[in-house]
Structure 1
């Protein structure tokens, strides 16, 4: 009987032992799991350019130092600088613009005029003469140009080195005697309603025919590097224009000085576009400052070598900085302005994977930040830890409703730019969805989780602030408006953030904050 009892109890004892062992094992796993890392109230992500060492040090010596030395705040906040792991390997002078890493791909004009480009003064002189001659922008093969039903046709172009437009022209088939149409040709600067210049063609005033295009001279303007323009042909007859597909014409771009900007397949044209895309004529131009162009191309190899050496030094400095301060997150992107939205998405993914928190503050390295005041405001507003977006929104009409939940009023009716630093080529509407200014805003952890989970599918736009607005329009968070998040370089008592300061200015603001509690000014006693 005793033996039977032992046999009966043994499995139970073994089961209990295994259960206790598994419990201990799971406890060990629990403690070493990422989910058992310290939980923070706020994770702060500071977007920073690779070369902004002074701004990062200014932050480390001001509000970040205050945080680390504050016994109650230090455990509640984690601060990380967000930096692209790769620098652009194209010198700034050789990029299409300073905001991207796209190479200015202009071919040496000597390759266009000489079978063996020998850099002699004679050849240099010949090339300069060639560039100063009138160049026809387009050659339209006879088989490409067809009579269409469209009364208005347009083509967009970009200037990558200064040019001077000398004539505007309209196409007509060779088998027609004389010019028998009534057409106006206008050249616009992008987003401008008034034409820079225009030419009117009629049977009585047809201009001069060159290679099936009738030209008329126009007032000559220098179109600078980066100029975005549109040529519009408009028929005043009952029939449409004779035009060709932009992808089938020959562009005489002088080695890459001009570039057509066409609507990609599958995309709709911009809302303000007039007519249909096509080419119904052309224009002639000369290259401005041809000597400067040649000099720039000749010195490019030396510039590239110096730039790559500087990049290596920058990499070494950043690695040393990261090792010393342990406050940098390198994200796998080329560090340029156009890639800032991608930097932010990568940081969101990092925070979700490696930290635990309730809120995330996004700011920039040129911003004054008051974390203590931020905690007070969170308590005062009783901000919810889910579905929350707290920031500053400029409203361009109606009454400003500060410190209210504005589910449909954030930064509204912000026009989309088609040129310059904020050039938007991806968002086709005339105005962005509501968004908060990027100097500082707070979002709850669940929003960060959603952004991180969808980061591979979220399309990035020209800026991280407008990108956030577009992304957030899909989930509709509660938007908390607060005037203390400043969008411009203004100092106000009680401000939570203020942007666009130099390193020295950030230090001075913080000194005054510590001395008298007011970063803007201390009263003389």
Structure 2
């Protein structure tokens, strides 16, 4: 029984290999003819942005579409065809030394500030009123909670209540807009001689949550309110600001005024500081041990496969744009004349390399050209992983989605020459759109670069150039499907089906 199973397994392997070879013979023969007509050579560098800890994703790529790259290169070399394809995983040279629980965000490497004491912490928001019709109404402001806290007391200046008659304070989940807490304060003549109104509350705010504090003032049509900064960022922080002026949760402009009304929150930690400090010390020790093990594994991986390029930075999401720029600088310095095209992709994407080569050769005369599937009028995010802190427009310029795009060597040179002058915004793909807007390259749009999991009605998934958002198992499945359907495509131009 075992011998029979092994025999069947070997037959299946032979069939798959034969289909793989037959497919590429068809593809390559057509590419050879195309190359002979154009007379152009091609040196394509594939840059695969990868996080240091993504060993399984890199392994899956090496076992799938990078095998196709290897096969193509062998054919081109043996037939003296002027096409070369190189591929490297682009990693940061260092990991963040701060344990994730002690960072302000998982996407950066900034340590939380120490809080000096446990209880009776106050957080003061200055609510500013301005009576000008030309200003839009201020609706609220958003904050991120860095440590689990309990809000005990909310204090509002009586002058604010007197001015508005009714003050309604609501706390919402910023992402879902779910109401977490609400209270209403009405003007009370018995309290006119007091400076403040105290509202006892019991609100627990969890670490990592993003909240909106809203103050309703519909009875004052020409009022504008805006919060000013606070110094209690050890536990929470107002999101987004321009020139020191805080914005509301929709990032409308904050307007200064002379009339200020305080909204004060008194809070305490849910857990005591001694246990926090002990946990922080334990976390740091465990994290340093884990990072030492990661360094060792990466060193072995790099020596074994020789396909990793380390750039000099801390490898966290917020540094992706800088990682890409430093890669271009490194590439141009090492290969200033040889590289004709760069393809950027991510370590969760499957590439149809043969069709990508065909696309480039069909446009071999292109200069200052950007190949991709472009997002237009893409709104910025105010929260979460893609929160934009610096780009001041509510929309990004055109940018190619990150599953795969190609730029020609003149664009590579421009990026490499200006890598230390270009500003690194929150994501490498939107940053590329902002950088490219300065020189307005030719854009060759192609929806075969699949952007996400949503299916566009005009995309034939069997001709896709890239498929994103795959885990290692899905990467293997896509590759096997790609090989199994070769016989159904006599022209050899189609690749693989995409199954939801």
Shorter chain as normaliser: what TM range? 0.7 to 0.9
1:369 is matched with: 351
| Contact kept? 2:240, 2:246, Cα under 8 Å | no
Instruction: Please list every run of 5 or more consecutive structure 2 residues that lacks an aligned counterpart in the other structure.
Output: 1-40, 78-82, 487-494
What is the SS of the residue equivalent to 1:506? helix
| Contact kept? 1:269, 1:428, Cα under 8 Å | no
| Contact kept? 1:170, 1:183, Cα under 8 Å | no
Alignment partner for residue 209 of structure 2, among 226, 230, 233? 226
Aligned equivalents of 1:233, 1:280: Cα separation in 2: 14
Alignment partner for residue 330 of structure 1, among 300, 310, 335? 310
1:160 is matched with: 146
Instruction: Please list every run of 5 or more consecutive structure 1 residues that lacks an aligned counterpart in the other structure.
Output: 1-38, 114-129, 394-410
Aligned equivalents of 1:98, 1:139: Cα separation in 2: 26
Aligned equivalents of 1:72, 1:50: Cα separation in 2: 32
Q: Which structure has the larger Rg over C-alpha atoms? A: 1
Alignment partner for residue 90 of structure 1, among 92, 95, 98? 98
2:252 is matched with: 273
Aligned equivalents of 2:448, 2:58: Cα separation in 1: 23
Q: 1:224 to 1:187 in 2, by over 3 A?
A: farther
Aligned-residue offset at 1:44? 0.6
| Contact kept? 2:158, 2:197, Cα under 8 Å | yes
| Contact kept? 1:40, 1:78, Cα under 8 Å | no
Aligned equivalents of 2:48, 2:67: Cα separation in 1: 15
Aligned equivalents of 2:252, 2:391: Cα separation in 1: 14
Aligned-residue offset at 1:105? 2.6
Aligned equivalents of 2:245, 2:415: Cα separation in 1: 25
Aligned equivalents of 2:482, 2:125: Cα separation in 1: 66
1:43 is matched with: 45
| Contact kept? 2:171, 2:212, Cα under 8 Å | yes
Aligned equivalents of 2:277, 2:295: Cα separation in 1: 27
| Contact kept? 1:358, 1:385, Cα under 8 Å | no
Aligned equivalents of 2:236, 2:193: Cα separation in 1: 23
2:496 is matched with: 519
Aligned equivalents of 1:494, 1:162: Cα separation in 2: 49
| Contact kept? 1:179, 1:206, Cα under 8 Å | no
What TM-score do you get using the length of structure 1 for normalisation? 0.70
Alignment partner for residue 369 of structure 2, among 388, 392, 404? 388
How many aligned positions are there? 430
Q: How does 1:117-156 map to 2 (within 5 A)?
A: 130=119, 136-138=122-124, 156=142
Alignment partner for residue 68 of structure 2, among 58, 66, 71? 66
Q: How does 1:471-482 map to 2 (within 5 A)?
A: 471-482=435-446
Aligned-residue offset at 1:192? 8.2
Alignment partner for residue 84 of structure 2, among 62, 76, 90? 76
1:429 is matched with: 393
Aligned equivalents of 1:417, 1:246: Cα separation in 2: 22
Aligned-residue offset at 1:46? 0.5
Aligned equivalents of 2:203, 2:128: Cα separation in 1: 30
Deviations 1:145-165 (A, max 9, x none): 999767967655332124455
Aligned-residue offset at 1:288? 7.0
Aligned equivalents of 2:445, 2:219: Cα separation in 1: 52
Q: 1:480 to 1:318 in 2, by over 3 A?
A: same
Q: 1:351 to 1:161 in 2, by over 3 A?
A: same
Aligned equivalents of 1:194, 1:317: Cα separation in 2: 44
What is the SS of the residue equivalent to 1:98? coil
Q: 1:505 to 1:208 in 2, by over 3 A?
A: farther
Alignment partner for residue 52 of structure 1, among 51, 54, 60? 54
Alignment partner for residue 301 of structure 2, among 313, 318, 321? 321
Deviations 1:406-441 (A, max 9, x none): xxxxx1121111101111111122111111110101
1:498 is matched with: 467
Aligned-residue offset at 1:43? 0.8
